[in-house]
Amino acid sequence: MITRSSVPLQRPGREPRPLPIQARWQTQLARAIRDPRELCRRLGLDEAWWPGAERGHALFEVRVPEAYLARIRPGDPADPLLRQVLPLAEEAVPMAGYVADPLAEAEHAPAPGLIHKYAGRVLLIASPACAVNCRYCFRRHFPYEENAPSRAQWETTLDHLRCDATIHEAILSGGDPLAASDRQLAWLVERLAAIPHLKRLRIHTRLPVVIPERIDDALLGWLTTTHLQKVMVLHINHANEIDEAVIAACRKLSAAGVTLLNQSVLLRGVNDSIGALAALSERLFEAGILPYYLHVLDPVAGAAHFDVADDEARELVAGLREVLPGFLMPRLVREIPGEASKTPL
């Protein structure tokens, strides 16, 4: 696992040359930008952005890999990809109703690394790390250290699945589950596949988008050989996130028999227009991905500036329906703590 302390922050003026974006995914992950000033400098944002970036960074650290940075327009503070990763001073402003654990997940964790709050399916926190730190993330305050099980603990967690025949689907979540090593993932998936009542393996990940080189032969090896049905729910919020390398990665996943779906979060200044949402759906389909969910923002502390009001969200989706075929329409939903499924708006 890559911890903050194992990767020293780059000192100003001593930046390494940018990595070639085809570097191994592990190298890209380890060398991701983790210094708010470096992020601003690399994108040609002037010093006025530094204090805000540093305040936000102190609350939730910056993390942006090169391959993602390459899709951001330099010198444009309104770039929809930059807005997702650049910390702002607004994050430090407390807002009524915005809390650390908006989904009350801490109440549904019966074993290390396990969240069981939906019928028939369980979430396994397969990796505490992410490839990118998204400013709006509802898990920005998640106690990952308490949810990074050892293999012995995983066996206990797996016993919970083995003993409950109502569970048909295991959802690898995180952090980002694909930030874990293929050795670890192959080990886990092999154990899951041995549970007779388990039918499906679902992976919720942003890694194939953030670092498309993650979809390599080692990953395709364990993914192709398991008998479980495979669904991958990607997390893409804007059409500009899908470049040719992402499309190539998605082709490999499709060829490995993985059903590809996407969930987005409706974000002020990122995708809060009919044009942006329509372009996203169209581009997703070009990559072989079907739109699944469009979430309204979870009220997590530090993310209030991304909020789009419910009425505006409904209007946007109504407008979207006028320009898209039905199969490219995401479902507009909210996650309400304690509910057994997402709630349509």
Ligand X SMILES: *Cc1c(COP(=O)(O)O)cnc(C)c1O
3-state SS record for 272-338: CCHHHHHHHHHHHHHCCCEEEEEECCCCECCCHHHCCCHHHHHHHHHHHHHHCCHHHCCEEEECCCC
- Helix (H, G, I), strand (E, B), or coil: what is residue 126? strand
Identify which range of 13-21, 22-30, 116-124, 127-135 contacts ligand X by CB under 6 A: 116-124
Among 55, 168, 331, 342, binds ligand X (CB under 6 A): 342
Separation between Cα atoms, residue 162 and residue 148, nearest integer Å: 20
Give helix 217-225 / helix 182-193 axis angle, nearest 10°: 0
**Residue 130 interacts with ligand SF4 (CB under 6 A): yes or no:** yes
Separation between Cα atoms, residue 152 and residue 208, nearest integer Å: 29
Identify which range of 128-136, 251-259, 306-314, 331-339 contacts ligand SF4 by CB under 6 A: 128-136
User: Hey, CA dihedral for 124, 63, 89, 78, is it positive or negative?
Assistant: negative
**Residue 132 interacts with ligand SF4 (CB under 6 A): yes or no:** yes
Separation between Cα atoms, residue 57 and residue 54, nearest integer Å: 5
Among 176, 182, 298, 307, binds ligand SF4 (CB under 6 A): 176
Nearer to ligand X, 50 or 293 (CB): 293
Nearer to ligand X, 90 or 335 (CB): 335
Among 71, 83, 117, 139, binds ligand SF4 (CB under 6 A): 139
**Residue 341 interacts with ligand X (CB under 6 A): yes or no:** yes
**Residue 204 interacts with ligand X (CB under 6 A): yes or no:** yes
List phi, psi (to 5°) of 199.
-105, -40
**Residue 134 interacts with ligand SF4 (CB under 6 A): yes or no:** yes
Binding site for ligand X (CB under 6 A): 118, 121, 123, 171, 173, 204, 341-342
Binding site for ligand SF4 (CB under 6 A): 130, 132-134, 137, 139, 174-176, 206, 235
